[in-house]
Amino acid sequence: MQNALGAVQSLLVLGGSSDIGAAIADRLVPGGCRIVVLAGRRPEAMEPVAGRLRAAGADVVLTGWDAVDIGGHADAIKAAWDAAAIDIDCVVLASGVLGDQSQLEEDPTAAADLAVANYAGPVSTLLHVARRLEEQGHGTIVVLSSVAGERARRSNFVYGSSKAGLDAFAQGLADRLVAAGVRVVVVRPGFVRSSMTNGREPAPLATTPAAVAEAVAGAIASGKEIVWVPATFRYVMAVFRHLPRPLWRRVSGNI
Ligand SMILES: NC(=O)c1ccc[n+]([C@@H]2O[C@H](COP(=O)([O-])OP(=O)(O)OC[C@H]3O[C@@H](n4cnc5c(N)ncnc54)[C@H](OP(=O)(O)O)[C@@H]3O)[C@@H](O)[C@H]2O)c1
């Protein structure tokens, strides 16, 4: 249960080795989060994050979760709740795959796999999470969407469309859960310097995992439901969303 000051005391990160997910945990632990469950498919990649969080004072448990193993999601979410052994205040969906657009266009199976990892798998997972939070009667789900989902770009529309689907799903889930006292925060970062973008040329308004974490912590505390990082993207995308398609093709080819 979030404490009297609204601080998260228990956290589940789905995609426990994610740079952004880890940064959110790094930000919440000093604020009073005492129990962290890192769920993912590679314990060896989550262990360094766990070590850092333990050094900061949290009890940390690693559990298994694979976004594409839809049949395993019920057990994985049960295992996460069992590992926490208390109600979970906040669940962060931080997993995702960017992929290489030209390779994905050449390999339709790989493109469909990316859609499962970024959209279909999270849909299944978040429905299991939603049921748990409804039973608790409280909690916050944080979903890592992207500005890429706001308007598809020629250069990454496989990834962008998966994020558009996830973003729409998260908004609908928020509407379902609000009556149960459960909130959903949709986070739309631009280019974040992380393992996902390593080796790529930073886009305009590039930011950091720590900045995303700061914005997420602010939203959890304030009740904000949509978070752009940096905040300027709210206005930039409001313009981009309405550009005529021929103009958007020209503009988006340069970002
Ligand atoms: N970086 C950016 O520019 C940016 C911008 C906007 C939105 N986002 C979104 O923010 C989120 C976090 O990204 P990041 O920058 O932190 O990237 P990251 O460090 O590369 O983390 C991605 C995470 O996804 C996990 N993952 C991938 N496939 C998985 C699967 N099938 N099952 C379980 N976990 C899986 C990876 O786990 P493994 O260790 O097992 O590979 C890793 O923990 C993603 O949803 C991403 O789309 C990122």
- For residue 145, the ligand 1 atom closest to its alpha carbon is 7
Best CA proximity match to 73, nearest among 112, 128, 123, 18:
128
Residue 4 Cα to ligand 1 midpoint, Å, equals 32
User: Do 39 and 14 meet the contact criterion of CB atoms below 8 Å apart?
Assistant: yes
Q: What is the mean pLDDT of residues 191-217?
A: 96
Give tens-digit pLDDT for 208-222. 999 999 999 999 999
Token representation of residue 198: 């390593």
Q: What's the whole-number mean pLDDT along residues 58-69?
A: 98
- 5 falls in which pLDDT band (50, 70, 90)? low
d(CA 146, CA 46) in angstroms, rounded, equals: 23
C-alpha to C-alpha distance for 35 and 12, rounded to whole angstroms: 9
**Residue (of 17, 45, 23, 10) closest to 187 by Cα position:** 23
CA of 117 to the centre of ligand 1 (A): 10
Beta bridge partners of 187: 144, 227
What is the mean predicted confidence (pLDDT) over 62-87? 98
Is residue 159 among the annotated active site residues? yes
HSE of 251 in the Cβ direction (CA atoms, 13 Å)?
15
Going by pLDDT thresholds of 50, 70 and 90, the confidence category of residue 4 is low
Q: Strand, coil or helix: what is 189?
A: strand
Q: CA 242, CA 119: separation in Å to the nearest integer? A: 25
What local confidence, expressed as pLDDT, does residue 154 receive? 94
pTM over 0.85: yes
Identify any residues that bridge with 37 across adjacent strands, giving them in sequence order: 12, 61
Q: Which amino acids bring their CB within 6 angstroms of ligand 1?
A: 15, 17-21, 40-42, 45, 65-68, 94-97, 117, 144, 146, 189, 191-192, 194-197
- Nearest CA residue ID for atom 18, ligand 1: 18
Question: What are 58-64's contacts with CB under 8 Å, separation 24+?
Answer: 58/25, 58/29, 58/33, 58/34, 59/34, 59/35, 60/35, 60/36, 61/35, 61/36, 61/37, 62/16, 62/37, 62/38, 63/37, 63/38, 63/39, 64/39, 64/40
Kindly give the distance from the C-alpha atom of residue 94 to the centroid of ligand 1, in angstroms, as a whole number.
6
- Catalytic member of 81, 157, 159, 233: 159
Give pLDDT, residue 148: 97
Distance 133 CA to ligand 1 centre (A): 23
- Length of the chain, please? 255
Residue 125: pLDDT band with limits 50, 70, 90:
very high
SS3 category, 187: strand
**What is the residue with the minimal CA distance to atom 44 of ligand 1?**
96
Q: Is the pLDDT of residue 2 over 70?
A: no
Q: What is the pLDDT of residue 1?
A: 72
182 vs 91: CA distance, rounded Å: 11
Tens-digit pLDDT profile for residues 81-121: 999 999 999 999 999 999 999 999 999 999 999 999 999 99
Q: Is the pLDDT of residue 225 over 70?
A: yes
